[in-house]
Homo-oligomer: A and B are copies of this chain.
């Protein structure tokens, strides 16, 4: 596909050729969060939300979103995901509560799965916002970031330093 390049000299969009990259096991871990007030926190913890079990629904949404990342992010390659896991941890944030969302994705393919992990983390947070917005619209999502990535062949592994 070395002739591919000159076709697109206008500098516009392309899904870059990865056919030379071998299939390897790759993982990525992304982190997002949502900061909520006391009322939302209590509703989630007591499972009193009238739309359902907030964290349970959000987890399903995140997993399904990871699988369609290729259809949401235009230049992202379709890749067969082998495992997705989403976990939660509450932290205090002044008078509010911050829910940390950690997403791990695993594949055996020719590109990394950073986007799948980041997309799943974002959609998990968005789903929590959706289910709780009748109580408070002031919830804040993120920051959202890549924590770690392993298994690429051309680019080295990545690990973010997070201070607690």
Q: Which residues of A contact B (CB under 8 A)?
A: 1, 3-5, 7-19, 25, 27, 32, 47, 50-53, 55-57, 59-61, 63-68, 70-88, 102, 104, 106-110, 114-115, 118-119, 122-123, 125-127, 129-131, 133-134, 137-146, 149, 155, 158, 160
Contacts of A74 in B (CB 8 A): 57, 60-61, 63-64, 127
Given A115-B130, A137-B149, verify A12-B76 contact (CB < 8 Å): no
Contacts of A55 in B (CB 8 A): 10, 12
Closest to A48 in B: B11
Given A10-B88, A16-B51, A80-B79, verify A104-B60 contact (CB < 8 Å): no
Contacts of A11 in B (CB 8 A): 47, 52-53
A84–B143 CB distance below 8 A: no
Q: Apart from A13-B52, A73-B123, what are 8 other A-B pairs with CB-CB below 8 Å?
A: A10-B88, A12-B56, A17-B83, A19-B106, A52-B60, A56-B60, A57-B60, A122-B126
Minimum CB–CB distance for A59 against chain B, Å: 5
A15–B83 CB distance below 8 A: yes
Partner of A57 from the list B47, B70, B75, B139 (CB cut-off 8 Å) is B75
